[in-house]
Every structure is written in structure tokens, then in C-alpha cells.
Amino acid sequence: LLLFFIDSAHLFIDIGKLEKTLGSQSILELLVRAGITIHSYDTLLPFLSHLTKNKSCGKIWLDMRSINAAVHEAIPLKLRHVATSPIVLLKAVKNAHEASSMRACHVRDGAAMVAFLHQLEQQIAVSNQTLTEVELDEMVTASRAEFSPDKFLEPSFATIAGVNSNSAIIHYRAVNSTCKRLTRDDLLLLDSGGQYLDGTTDVTRTIHMGQPTSYQQEMYTRVLQGHIAVASTIFPTGTMGGQLDILARKSLWRVAKDYNHGTGHGVGAALNVHEGPQRISPHPDSIPLQPNMIISNEPGFYENGHFGIRIENLLIVTKTSLNPIMGKDFLCFEPLTLVPIQTKLIKLELLTDDERDYLNAYHQRVCDEVTPLLHTEEQKLWLKQATKPI
Ligand SMILES: [Mn+2]
């Protein structure tokens, strides 16, 4: 728990957790240098009790989403100010430096993913080798480290690499004893991200190494239509993520299908990969999307026991140049993630011209921005093929 005063900040934590290092420095050292006073977690309640007994103690701001009942009860009723913490929005709305750093790390992350996807195709489809889900996880992590040698810290969350029926398990985590092997006949869902000194990434791609079934293609296309509908929408200021959720599901609902998770979560800039308060979800929501908020766009579809599909990019909310109406500006999303979306899985006849144009323009951008960072001519050629207009 972090307690802020006007002139100081106090962190109550299991001090053992601060022994980890970031680069060459211990986290404890970095926090102390940032002016934060560290306390052992078990001194929190006595600290609060001492604080609130002081006659000059003012009101204490409590964000109910992040405190527990014991802390709530430790604050006398007349001293409680219950509201969303202002810090939450300061984190969610990125400043200019955070926004440009997030953009920069996504270009390198895109290059790392392209190198990985190219290597995967070489080993599986061309050389007819197989790789376990755990090996895929290690491979994608190694690629991130290779493309950001001085900035990559660790995966931003536990990689989800699911082959065929494992891809239908939404929060799957492969372990050596039970994991599947990817062969040239299989579908792979890979949800992974990097934690970098300058930012945080989270990207999901679903790829088929051989010939997908017509049903897989149809469902992939419907998920892609949902992804594009969210990514390409414009909306007036004041719009909450929840109001956009239907866009992600419309194409699936048309054929009485759905997915059992939210469509998007906030993402921290070199912080937590899941960060509030904004989100895109069917659940009620009271947080309007604001320029420079970052949110994921990750519709999916899961056929239990068979296969799963998810297509995820991170988006940054941006102002359009359109004239305001009724005092409201129009906002849009700009993708941060720059990784090709496999076109082999698309049923072209289902896509509208606008959807096709969107994908082609996105792929052109991926190709333009990522190519200069690639290490070999083969990787560049592969990216050119993967981003060819459809
Ligand atoms: Mn995500």
C-alpha cells in the first residue's frame, strides 16, 4: 500500500519483495532514491492508528478499488474521503514522454515479433520441425531481448502459447510436462509482451502453420472484423470503453457466437500490463476514454476442445481534427502494436471494402516502420510478403 502526504510518500510492503534488481540497482535503492519511505507491511495499521489519532490529521483519500477492508475500517468515518485516486488518471493518461517512449518500444517489439514469426515459419512450415509451447515462449522472449539489448527487462506477463485445443483455454500457461508441440498442421495462439525500460507491450496473434479449416477462417475473420471495428471507430469525448464493446462482438453475435472476456484493458507505460481504470468491457463503466490513454483491443473466439482465436493490438487514444459538435471533440485510436496479422486465415469474401482498406493501411505502416529495424534480408522479405495488400 502506498500512502501519500503533501510532502512525502510511504510504501508499506513485504520488504523481501524489494530485493529484486532492475539492471544493476536494487529496487529498494531506487525507491529510496525517489524519496519514498519504506515500511514493513505489518506496521501499516499501527501507523494509520497513530496518524488518525493526531488532532491535526486531515481527511484521507481512499480509493475503494485498491484498499482492503482492514485499512478502510482503520480510518474513522469523519476522516474518510472516498473517491477514485487522482493518481490513477495521472497514470492512465500518458504524458508526451510516456506516449513517445511507448511508440518507440512498440517498433522494436514489432521487429522482435516479425523475426520470431519468420523463424517460426522457417522451422515449422519449411523445415518441418516441431517446437513445444514452452520452446515457443522461450523463443519469443529471446527475440525481444535480441531487438532491445539495452532495454528489455522481462516478459510483461506469463506468455500464453497455445497449440490447437490449448489455444481455446483463455489463460493457458504451458508447462514442460503437459505441453503440446506445434507442427506444420497446427494453429497457434500466442499472447505475449515485453517489459522494457521505455515501455510495456502486449500483443496476441493467431497463426496457422498449414491449411486452416473453413470454420477456423470464418471465425478468425469475424474476430478480425470486431478488432477492426473498435480500432477504426471515432467517438465523441465522454464516451466510455463499455459503449464500444458491442463493436468488437457484432460480427460474432450475427452468427450467435461470443467470447467470455473483456475486449480491452488499460496498459501502463513501463508499468503494469493491466492497468485501470479505463477498459472496454460489457460491464458497466464510468470512465470516459481520454487522449493519450492506452488500451488493448483483443476480441477472441474459443471453440472448447478445438481451437481459439484472439487478435490483440494496443491502441492509444488520439484527437481527430474533425469539428467538435455540441462542445465535444471527436477522438480515435491509433495502433501502437506493429505486427502483421496473418492474412491466410481471412475469408476475404466476408470483409467489407472499408475493413480491407483498414488492414492494408495498417500493414503498410507495419512494413514501413518495422523494416528498418530488421537484422536480415530474409526477415525483410518475409515482412513484405506478410504485409502484402489483400
Ligand atoms: Mn492484453
- For residue 298, how far is its CA from the centre of ligand 1 (angstroms)? 7
Distance of CA 59 from the midpoint of ligand 1 (Å): 36
Entry pTM = 0.92
Distance of CA 38 from the midpoint of ligand 1 (Å):
31
Q: How many angstroms does the Cα of residue 272 sit away from the middle of ligand 1?
A: 11
How high is the pLDDT of residue 176? Answer: 87
How far does residue 7's CA lie from ligand 1's centre (Å)?
36
Mean pLDDT over residues 65-94, rounded?
Answer: 92
Query: What's the 142 CA to ligand 1 centre distance in angstroms?
Result: 20
CA of 53 from ligand 1 middle (Å) equals 43
Task: Give the residue, 64 or 330, on which the prediction is more confident.
Answer: 330
21 — pLDDT class (breaks 50, 70, 90): confident
Compute, in angstroms, the gap from residue 201 CA to the centroid of ligand 1.
9
Task: Tell me the C-alpha distance between 114 and 385, whole Å.
Answer: 12
Region 116-120: mean pLDDT is 97
Q: Which of 169-183, 186-200, 233-247, 285-299 has the lowest mean pLDDT?
A: 169-183
Average pLDDT over all residues of the chain: 95
Separation of 233 CA from ligand 1 center, angstroms?
19
Q: 138 CA to middle of ligand 1, Å?
A: 19
- Residue 203 CA to ligand 1 center (angstroms) comes to 7
User: 3-state SS of the chain?
Assistant: CEEECCCCEEEEECHHHHHCEECCEEHHHHHHHCCEEEEEHHHHHHHHHHHHHCCCCCCEEECCCCCCHHHHHHCCHHHEEECCCHHHHHHHECCHHHHHHHHHHHHHHHHHHHHHHHHHHHHHHHCCCCEEHHHHHHHHHHHHHHHCCCCEEEECCCCEEEEHHHHHCCCCCCCCCCCCEECCCCEEEEEECEEECCEECCEEEEEECCCCCHHHHHHHHHHHHHHHHHHCCEEECCCEHHHHHHHHHHHHHCCCCCCCCCCEEECCCCCCCCEEEEEECCCCCCCECCCCEEEEECCEEEECCCEEEECEEEEEEEECCCCCECCECEEEEEECCCCCCCCCCCCHHHCCHHHHHHHHHHHHHHHHHHHHHCCCHHHHHHHHHHCCCC
CA 192–ligand 1 middle distance (angstroms): 8
Q: State percent of the chain over pLDDT 90.
A: 87
The answer to whether the beta carbons of residues 370 and 104 sit under 8 Å apart is no
pLDDT band at 59 (very low <50, low <70, confident <90, very high): very high
Q: Give the residues across from 316 on adjacent strands.
A: 294, 334
Average pLDDT value for residue range 95-118:
98
Residue closest to 339 by CA, chosen among 121, 125, 111: 111
Q: Which three cell numbers stand for residue 139?
A: 523463443
- Under the banding of pLDDT at 50, 70 and 90, the label for residue 26 is confident
313 CA from centroid of ligand 1 (Å): 8
Name the band, by pLDDT with cuts 50, 70 and 90, for residue 4.
confident
CA 208 to ligand 1 center in whole angstroms? 21
How far, in Å, from the CA of 10 to the mean position of ligand 1?
Answer: 30
Out of 46-50, 254-258, 335-339, least confident range? 46-50
Give the C-alpha distances (Å, rounded to integers) separating 360 from 117, 240, 364, 366: 19, 28, 6, 10
Distance from residue 160's CA to the centre of ligand 1 (Å): 11
99 CA distance to ligand 1 centroid (A)?
Answer: 18
Ligand 1 mean position, distance from CA 265 (Å): 7
pLDDT tens digits, one per residue of 239-258: 999 999 999 999 999 999 99
